[in-house]
Amino acid sequence: MGERSILDFMHSKKKSYEIDMIHGALTGKILLFTLPLMLSGILQLLFNAADIIIVRLNAVNDYPVAAIGSTGSLINMLVALFMGLSVGVNVMVAHYYAIQRDKDVSETVHTALTAALFAGCFLTVFGITLCRPLLSLMDSPPEVIDLSTLYMRIYFAGMPVNLLYNIGAAVLRAVGDTRRPLYYLTLAGLVNVGLNLVFILVFDMGVAGVALATILAQALSAFLVLRCLAKSQESYRLILSQCRITRGKLKRILHIGLPAGLQGTVFSLSNVLIQSSINSFGALAMAGNAAGANIEGFVYVAMNSFHQACVTFTSANYGALEKKRIDRVLITCLALVFAVGLLLGNGAYLFANPLLSIYNKDPQAVAVGLTRMGVICRVYFLCGMMDVICGSIRGLGASFLPMIVSVLGACGLRILWIVTIFSAPAHHSLYVLYLSYPVSWTVTGLVHLICFFYLRKRLRNNYSSVS
């Protein structure tokens, strides 16, 4: 085999990771896209669950588990704004790559990675400095707050590599490559578990060991995804000497990604308020809620893969002016997310008792987890469908509309629920608190659907005027 033949073979091998999103049947390609994303999310949660289980093996009480579990909503709130960058990058790269605008793809990739590095450094300083005051505002119990602060400070030290991995994975996802990020995440996760065993069981580092293992594993996954981009021969290849911010591309990334980030931040803020309400019920309630949330996470990441597929496929087909496929993408993703959410959500609730006992055997903590899962898991498909419709709107390049709807519909309604219905003495229970989730999903999903129909009508008019 000649040199040119070898190069052509290697090129075709790398291209085989990509998915043609603008031609052919959709269902199979969406499943091919989403299955690695599902596995990636599930593996990540399994590794997170291993963190908690390993900590619990070496703990004398529930405080370390409660400390780790109670920081999730606050971390998500602080990080969500910058994670919106990955949404903007995903939409832009998918759009440009579909219509073969190589220069625009390259400028977008290098701008995004440079911005991610700066944003990660900012988050490190911000998170380390303000985590304890923010935990105090959440009414974190005195017996937990020191451990929570330690965990968050170490975790935020790894924020630059966290953002670099997520931006790099978003680039690969935009061209239909969801398999290689799965491979990298699997390797990093196994390293994470191994380091947990060493740091916690051997060196008795507790929550500090969990946090340190996490950021070292994130550094490995970031290195692997950046190495993949650097070795690519496609337009999204990473060339370090070209890492700079192109003002126009950054503006466009922020135009699409910033509203998504703000939406995630406000969503997380509402979850912080809910977590604060849960904290008022004590450490056992916090531990039981964290266990239930961890189990639900497996269902959520499976559904969220269809949200990401809807964003990417919609953006690619919008760029290629395939207007009929945009509708088919939404319908297909809605059908699939409904089926997956219904099956996995109810399956998780069916086996909730033994699953919760893996995390915590205290009957009171298990009862809290059962209450949460009974309200949320059985109708979790509503959340998945809401996210898919939002993803379709965002894939069309509309960024502020889904943000406004989500902030007012989901977040605003949850906050209103907490300060009115939940605050009433007759309804001050965890069951009533958890009801805010399905109510907000239903209302917000319906409004998103109305917005999609409005945007679709405008797009058809624009297509007609162009033709």
Copy the structure tokens of residue 24: 């052919």
Copy the structure tokens of residue 97: 């790559």
On whether the CB atoms of residues 337 and 388 are closer than 8 A, the answer is yes
Digit-coded pLDDT (tens) for 175-184:
888 889 889 9
Give the pLDDT band of residue 73 (cuts 50, 70, 90): low
On whether the CB atoms of residues 341 and 381 are closer than 8 A, the answer is yes
Q: What is the 3-state secondary structure (H, E, C) of 87-107?
A: HHHHHHHHHHHHCCCHHHHHH
Copy the structure tokens of residue 304: 């969220």
Q: Where are the domains of the chain?
A: 23-466
Residue 350, H or E segment: helix 323-350
* Strand stretches in 293-354, DSSP E: none
Examine the pLDDT at 93 and tell me if it is beyond 50. yes
Quick one: pLDDT at residue 2? 46
Q: Is the pTM of this model over 0.95?
A: no
Highest mean pLDDT, choosing among 60-69, 220-229, 451-460: 220-229
C-alpha R_g of the chain = 22
Digit-coded pLDDT (tens) for 315-342:
888 877 778 889 999 999 999 999 999 9
**More confident of the two residues 102 and 54:** 102
**Helix, strand, or coil here: 428?**
coil
On whether the CB atoms of residues 207 and 51 are closer than 8 A, the answer is no
Whole-number Å distance between alpha carbons of 415 and 436? 9
Q: Could you give the percent of the chain with pLDDT greater than 70?
A: 92
Give the pLDDT band of residue 244 (cuts 50, 70, 90): very high
Mean pLDDT for the chain? Answer: 84
Examine the pLDDT at 432 and tell me if it is beyond 70. yes
Which amino acid is residue 124, in one-letter code?
Answer: T
On whether the CB atoms of residues 286 and 359 are closer than 8 A, the answer is no
Examine the pLDDT at 11 and tell me if it is beyond 60. no
Quick one: pLDDT at residue 13? 46
Whole-number Å distance between alpha carbons of 390 and 401? 9
Digit-coded pLDDT (tens) for 154-168:
989 999 999 999 999
Digit-coded pLDDT (tens) for 25-55:
889 999 988 998 888 888 777 777 677 777 7
The label of the residue with tokens 């949460």 reads 372
Copy the structure tokens of residue 40: 């990636």
On whether the CB atoms of residues 113 and 238 are closer than 8 A, the answer is yes
